[in-house]
Amino acid sequence: MKLQFSVPLVLIFLTLFNSNLFGQTSNETSDYQIIPKPAFQEILNGTFKVDKKTKIVCDKELTQEADYLSGILGAALGKTLKVDSKEVSGDIVLKLDDAIENTEGYELKVNTNEIVISGKTSTGVFYGIQTLKQLMPADIEKATKIGSSFTIPAVIIKDEPRFVYRGMHLDVGRHFFPVSFIKQYIDLIAMHKMNTFHWHLTEDQGWRIEIKKYPKLTEIGAFRNGTIVGHHPGAENDQKVYGGFYTQEEIKEIVAYAASKHVTVIPEIELPGHSAAAIAAYPELSCFPEEPTNLGKSPMSEKSKELQANGTAKVVYETWGVTGDVYCAGKENTFKFLEDVLAEVLPLFPSKYIHIGGDECPKGNWKRCPHCQSKIKSLGLHDEHELQSYFIQRIEKFVNAKGKQIIGWDEILEGGLAPNATVMSWRGTKGGIESAKQHHDVIMAPNSHCYFDHYQSKDKANEPLAIGGFTNVEKVYSYNPEPEELTEEEKQYILGAQANVWTEYMETTDYVEYMILPRMTALSEVVWTAQDQRDWSDFKLRLPNLIERYKAMNLNYAKHSLSEEE
- pLDDT tens track for 540-561: 999 999 999 999 999 999 987 6
Of 384, 416, 448, at which residue does a domain stop?
Answer: 416
CB atoms within 10 A of CB 532: 6
Is 13 among the domain residues?
Answer: no
Q: What is the mean pLDDT of residues 72-79?
A: 90
Please give the C-alpha separations between residue 381 and each of 9, 330, 365, 384, in angstroms, as whole numbers: 89, 12, 17, 8
Is 36 among the domain residues?
Answer: yes
pLDDT tens digits along 200-236: 999 999 999 999 999 999 999 999 999 999 999 999 9
The more confidently predicted of residues 10 and 58 is 58
pLDDT tens digits along 422-439: 999 999 999 999 999 999
Is 54 among the domain residues?
Answer: yes
Same domain, 272 and 258: yes
Radius of gyration of the chain (CA): 27
Task: Please name which of 127, 59, 142 lies closest in space to residue 93, comparing C-alpha atoms.
Answer: 59
Same domain, 505 and 520: yes
Is 393 among the domain residues?
Answer: yes
Is 187 among the domain residues?
Answer: no
Same domain, 357 and 457: no
Same domain, 52 and 142: yes
Considering its fold, how many domains does the chain have in total? 3
Same domain, 339 and 426: no
Of 144, 159, 174, at which residue does a domain stop?
Answer: 159
Is 176 among the domain residues?
Answer: no
Helices (H), 174-247: 179-191, 216-219
Q: Where residue 137 sits, what CATH number does that domain have? A: 3.30.379.10
pLDDT tens digits along 103-153: 999 999 999 999 999 999 999 999 999 999 999 999 887 756 677 899 999
Q: Indicate the pLDDT class of residue 564, thresholds 50, 70 and 90.
A: very low
Same domain, 385 and 431: no
pLDDT tens digits along 389-448: 999 999 999 999 999 999 999 999 999 989 999 999 999 999 999 999 999 999 999 999
Q: Could you tell me the residue range of the domain that residue 498 belongs to?
A: 421-566
Same domain, 36 and 143: yes
Question: 165 pairs with which residues across the strands?
Answer: 496
Same domain, 441 and 468: yes
Same domain, 565 and 532: yes
Q: What is the pLDDT, as a whole number, of residue 536?
A: 97
Q: What is the mean pLDDT of residues 170-199?
A: 98
Q: What is the pLDDT, as a whole number, of residue 144?
A: 61
Same domain, 397 and 360: yes
pLDDT tens digits along 449-472: 999 999 999 888 889 999 999 999
pLDDT tens digits along 267-319: 999 999 999 999 999 999 999 999 999 999 999 999 999 999 999 999 999 99
**Residues acting as catalytic residues:** 360
Is 2 among the domain residues?
Answer: no
| pLDDT of 11 over the 60 cut | no
- How far apart (Å, rounded) are the C-alpha atoms in residues 290 and 311? 9
Same domain, 493 and 448: yes
Question: What percent of the chain stands above pLDDT 70?
Answer: 94
Q: Which letter, b or e, does each residue of 3-36 get, where b requires 16 or more Cβ atoms within 10 Å of its Cβ?
A: eeeeeeeeeeeeeeeeeeeeebbebeeebbbbbb
Is 1 among the domain residues?
Answer: no
CA angle 199/201/202 to nearest 5° reads 145
Same domain, 406 and 449: no
Q: Where residue 368 sits, what CATH number does that domain have? A: 3.20.20.80
Of 105, 125, 159, at which residue does a domain stop?
Answer: 159
Q: Indicate the pLDDT class of residue 563, thresholds 50, 70 and 90.
A: low
